Structure 1
Amino acid sequence: MTASVQAALDLRLVVADMDGTLLDEHGQVPDGLWPLLADMRARGVLFVPASGRQYATLHREFAHAAEGMPFIAENGSYVVRDGVEISSDPLDGAFVRGVLVALDELAADGPDLGVVVCGKRSAYVSRTDDAFLGEARKYYAALEVVCDLAAVDDEILKVAVYDFGNAEQQTAPHLSRLRSDKNRVVVSGVHWIDLMSATADKGAAVRALQSALGITPAQTAAFGDYLNDLEMLDAAEWSFAMADAHPEVARRARFQAPSHREYGVVTTLTRLLAQQA
């Protein structure tokens, strides 16, 4: 930690983004996390992965430690613990159909885009080339190929757009017109943009967990690196931006953790738990 943490700790909830935060440079959960999770469980501290990834993917990543572990999936629009839904915030079907039309029109003008319609049961794609499917399968363990995305019969939590260029610079400006008081457009990575409910974000998910579990922001630590982590950091008094975080994330967080390449979540949590002990 580059900032001094002096206040007394009563840590009960730790929430960590995945890509660019918890996962190492190879996209793997650091080996050092597993013994730390056992220590946290013994202390009564809950660890919560929070990601744009779907629940099935997160559960697969943490399969041997998943018992009792809450998961914040789909950028906060779906929160599940032991298979039981804690909260969800699905999209209106008419909005989803309008988004798909707008994306077809945008792609026709040049940007190379892939679309994932993210439901509670599965994620759905219609594009089948290896380049796009390879990216989609990194984040969606339950993935179905369908002929018509608009005909998917599922509760839709999010529409994720993969831009083979720079999503924030190339595609996000064109999608901004889809924002409303009911829906939002979030840049969630260099190549990804998520369209979701205006009231769905990782911060809302953390607050739902805090309410369900009787945990306060003062008992919560959060780690993030990108724009879709901002509200999550706001929900925790112990908020950490990774060393190579987006500049807005670095401004918003109270503290800084080392880069994910230096296992910043693991090293910072180890220090926090030692201080609590």
Structure 2
Amino acid sequence: MTTPDIRLIAVDMDGTLLDPAGRIPDGLWPLLDRLRERGIAFAPASGRQLATLQRSFGEAGRDLDYIAENGAYVVREGVEVSSDALDPAFVRDLILRMRRLVADGALHAGVVVCGKESAYIEDTDPRFLAEVEKYYARLSVVDDVLAQQDQVLKLAIYDHDGGETHTAPALDDLRRTHQVVVSGAHWIDIMNAGVNKGVALRNLQRALGITPAQTVAFGDYLNDLELLQAADWSYAMADAHPDVAAIARHRAPSNAEFGVITTIETLLEFPGRPA
């Protein structure tokens, strides 16, 4: 089989690249070196903020491309490719609405205001704070999130009882004007209409001058649907959400089996990792 002309690989993080303990597999680091030698760009694509992704990859990620905040912020080698900030009036209205829903007992949830410079929270519930700190390397705990001066790329809501069954239905009316994305078992992301990982990947493809036929994408959850649709070489992880598995052209072993790494090695005919 002829090795395909791959120029870009976009990879979701949680449930996809990261192992079940939330760590980057050791096998990725030599693989990144081989991709650089082959001239293939590597782009982590996540709901996480840019600073968190950069911290995760450290020095090895200095020249990577990043699709952050579920596609609202794209950076290539430290330079912004695209961003899409929410209207401040919408942000204010939704924050006030969430405060009322929580105060009335309709939801058991906390809100993260995801800005370009930092993430902001005013809820200091220990469980909420512990979850937020996993994903936001730049995090400010403030008295009033509405008092902060920053471009807001996304509002992320952590629902203690389950985002898909509680917060998503409560905010269903927002789907008429905005993206309301279930990005995890407890997380709901709200962004501008048309913002998703797929749009971000297409922006990155244009910046690189490459096509979907030269692109590989891996994902496992609902916020990865558009990402996979923007790549001809689309892979759903073995334990992916059924909707993701339905649209992917290929399957990859699970993250517990290092499916991203082994699939890339096979696809590009790289020698396997040492035992």
Q: With structure 1 as the length reference, what TM-score do the two structures score?
A: 0.95
**Residues 3 and 269 in structure 2, CA contact (< 8 A), matched pair in contact too:** no
1:178 corresponds to: 174
By how many angstroms is 1:7 displaced? 7.0
Aligned residues: 270
Q: 1:125 aligns with which of 118, 121, 124?
A: 121
* Corresponding position of 2:148: 152
Counterpart contact for 1:52–1:73, Cα < 8 Å: yes
Equivalents in 2 of 1:97, 1:57: separation in Å? Answer: 25
Counterpart CA distance in 2 for 1:36 and 1:146 is 40
Alignment of 1:91-110 (within 5 A): 91-107=86-102, 108-110=104-106
Verify the 8 A CA contact 2:3 2:267 in the aligned structure 1.
no
Q: Give the secondary structure class of the aligned counterpart of 2:123.
A: coil
AA aligned to 1:39 is R
1:208 aligns with 2:203: yes
Q: 1:265-276 to 2 correspondence within 5 Å?
A: 265-274=260-269
Q: Name the CA distance, whole Å, in 2 between partners of 1:275 and 1:179.
A: 43
Instruction: Give, as a single letter, the amino acid of the residue that structure 2 aligns with 1:114.
Output: G
CA contact (8 A) 1:99 1:178 kept: no
Residue number in structure 2 paired with 1:33: 28
Please give the secondary structure, in 2, of the residue aligned with 1:62.
helix
Look up the equivalent residue of 1:95 and give its one-letter code: F
SS in 2 for 1:30: coil
Q: Is 1:86 aligned to 2:88, yes or no?
A: no
For the 8 Å contact 1:89–1:199, the answer to whether it is kept is no
Q: Corresponding residue for 1:50?
A: 45
TM-score by length of 2: 0.95
Q: What corresponds to 1:67 in structure 2?
A: 62
Contact preservation (8 Å) 1:186, 1:195: yes
Shift of the alpha carbon at 1:64?
1.7
Are 1:71 and 1:81, in contact at CA under 8 Å, matched by a contact in 2?
Answer: yes
The answer to whether residue 243 in structure 2 is matched with residue 248 in structure 1 is yes
RMSD: 1.4
Quick one: distance in 2 between partners of 1:130 and 1:121? Answer: 24
Q: Following TM superposition, where does structure 1 have runs of at least 4 consecutive aligned residues deviating by more than 4 angstroms?
A: none
**1:201-258 deviations in whole A, cap 9, x for unaligned?**
1001100000011011000000000110000000000000001111000001000001
Cα drift, residue 68 of structure 1: 2.0
Shift of 1:138: 0.4
Counterpart residue identity of residue 66, structure 1: G
User: How far 1:54 moved relative to its partner?
Assistant: 0.2
